[in-house]
Amino acid sequence: MYAERLLPFDTEAEEAVIGSILIDSDSLSKITSYVKPEDFYISKNKSCYFSCLSLFEKSEPINQVTLSHELSSNDLLDDIGGTEYLAYLVESVPTSIHIEHYAQIVQKTSTMRRLITTATEIADIGYNGVSDVESSLNKAEKLLFSIRSERAVGDFVHIRSVLDAYMEETASLDSDPSKISSTIPTGFPDIDKIFGGGLQPSDMIVVAARPSLGKSTLAFNIAQNASFKGLKVAIFSLEMSAEQIAMRLLSSQSGVDSHRLRINLISSDEETKVIDTIGQLSELPIYIDDTPIQSVSEMIGKAKRMQSESGIDLIIVDYLQLITGGRANSRQSENRVQEMGEISRSLKGMARDLNVPVLACSQLSRAVEQRPSHRPILSDLRESGSIEQDADIVSFIYREDVYTTESEWERKNPNDQYPANIAEIIVAKHRNGPTGTIPLYFRNDVVTFESLDARPESIT
């Protein structure tokens, strides 16, 4: 029976780690980043390692005498077997040269014990969480991911290795910046140019606008363009259903009016286009989760699961303010601003953990509507300045024709053409590059953005 099986541990490896430190105290610095006191199964070895770390943090020498004194000062010397045990540890290992090998064994067996304990916790969740299956699954996933994240160890890397990777990446780069292999092309050359070739891995990109100005449309256009390059795109849509997104993509790609497509009022030629386009879109690696209410932890869990199962190249979130923070009544919470900060930090963390760009749509506050100039600024980001802080890129969508009629424009700008259907993509923050404004043409009939040089010839 499982209850009768012993938890995995390695006595010799634990003793060899402590012995190696007592032989050469400098060897401790090789393993402190990934071996913790709780990784030791045998209590006296755990106490010894903890005391070694205490001495290390105080920059004191570590040897039999100092370790004995440290243990004694915490009433632990007798518990570990006295100075005789410390002498035994020194004699148990001939050299400290293999301390990293011993430490890896200690960490591995610790992880296995943690896995066994977690399996028991997951079993308890299964027995007690029948009424809420989704919540139970999320708790179980969180427990498993916590084990993996605890094993993730960051350490110094020499700048040479970073520069070598950069040189390898840019070796094939010529006049076309979209050839940088790690970037995700947006499909809009002017945007790719200002973004340094496209969306960068581990970046959080925010596209913000007032309602109905096209933030979802731009995000879906980018998803569609990336997927045609064979890149896997995960879309979290908390506002629109998967069917609505599919219809938008179908209209955009086929060029058939979205309203007539929705009510099936299309010609035979258009029907042929639609059928052909369905065949094309069906092969694209676009995955949509349209769960309307979900927490950021649920989204991260789903993204990590998809990454481990099939991989992800780009994540799109539509939109930030609809994500819950996991607390009851979070929408009515007076701490919503703080909660939005936690959400934006979590999404940025997800981008870094998975090493993929996360493009998140965001609402703007009503302050935009209440001032003479409706062109958005960074302080207009709704509910949280943390969005501005956490995002690597913040871009706004602005359309003059939404706020100014043609007659008003001609009166104020008699020598300039009315910017009908012209959207300004305002890059207001770019952590690693330039800011600026990119004009795009918005085709309302097929709900899509196009580069100005690609707009219909009838538009001048």
Q: Above 90 in pLDDT, residue 343?
A: no
Question: What pLDDT, on the 0 to 100 scale, is given for residue 335?
Answer: 74
Indicate if 21 and 95 belong to the same structural domain. yes
> Do 139 and 183 fall into the same domain?
no
What tokens appear for 227 in the block?
A: 């997927």
Assigned domain for 386 exists: yes
Would you say 320 and 360 are in contact if contact means Cβ atoms under 8 Å apart?
Answer: yes
> Are both 298 and 231 inside the same structural domain?
yes
Is 302 inside any structural domain? yes
Ranges 155-164, 236-245, 444-453: which has the least confidence: 155-164
Residues 67-123: pLDDT tens digits?
A: 999 999 999 999 999 999 999 999 999 999 999 999 999 999 999 999 999 998 888
The CA distance from 436 to 191, in Å, is 10
Residue 165 lies in a domain: no
Helix (H), strand (E) counts: the chain = 18, 9
Give the mean model confidence (pLDDT) for residues 410-429.
86
Q: Please name which of 14, 12, 6 lies closest in space to residue 106, comparing C-alpha atoms.
A: 14
Place of tokens 């190696």: 20
Please say whether the beta carbons of 391 and 207 come within 8 A: no
In a domain, 14, yes or no: yes
Cα torsion at 349, 355, 356, 358 (round to 10°)?
10
**What would the two tokens of residue 247 be?**
């219809």
Q: What is the CATH number of the domain that holds 406?
A: 3.40.50.300
Same domain, 54 and 190: no
Helix (H, G, I), strand (E, B), or coil: what is residue 239?
coil
- The residue among 109, 125, 155 that closes a domain is 155
Contact 305, 144 (CB under 8 A): no
Residues 101 and 213 reside in one and the same domain: no
More confident residue, 33 or 275: 275
- pLDDT at res. 47: 94
pLDDT band at 382 (very low <50, low <70, confident <90, very high): low
Strand order in the sheet with 286-289: 286-289, 233-237, 314-318, 358-363, 204-209, 393-398, 422-430, 436-443, 448-451
**pLDDT score of 154:** 56
Q: Is residue 167 part of a domain?
A: no
Query: Model confidence at 51, in pLDDT bands (50, 70, 90)?
Result: very high
* Shared-domain flag, residues 141 and 211: no
- Distance (Å, whole) CA 388 – CA 89: 54
Q: Does residue 459 have a pLDDT over 80? A: no
Q: Is 239 a catalytic residue?
A: yes
Q: For residue 413, what are its two tokens? A: 């700008």
133 and 55 share one domain: yes
- Does residue 170 belong to any structural domain of this protein? no
* Domain co-membership, 416 together with 449: yes
Alpha-carbon distance 104 to 110, whole Å? Answer: 10
Domain boundary among 127, 155, 183: 155
* 200 and 149 both lie in a single domain: no
Burial (CB < 10 A; 0-12, 13-18, 19+), residue 108, is middle
pLDDT surpasses 80 at 395: yes
Is 288 among the domain residues?
yes
- Residue 63: which domain range? 1-155
Q: Which of 60, 100, 169, 239 is catalytic?
A: 239
CATH of the domain at 44: 1.10.860.10
Domain identity same for 145 and 194: no
Residues 131, 38 share a domain: yes
Could you give the CA distance from residue 398 to residue 425 in angstroms, rounded to a whole number? Answer: 7
Residue 143 lies in a domain: yes
Clarify whether residues 240 and 376 are in a common domain: yes
Q: Domains in the chain: how many in total?
A: 2
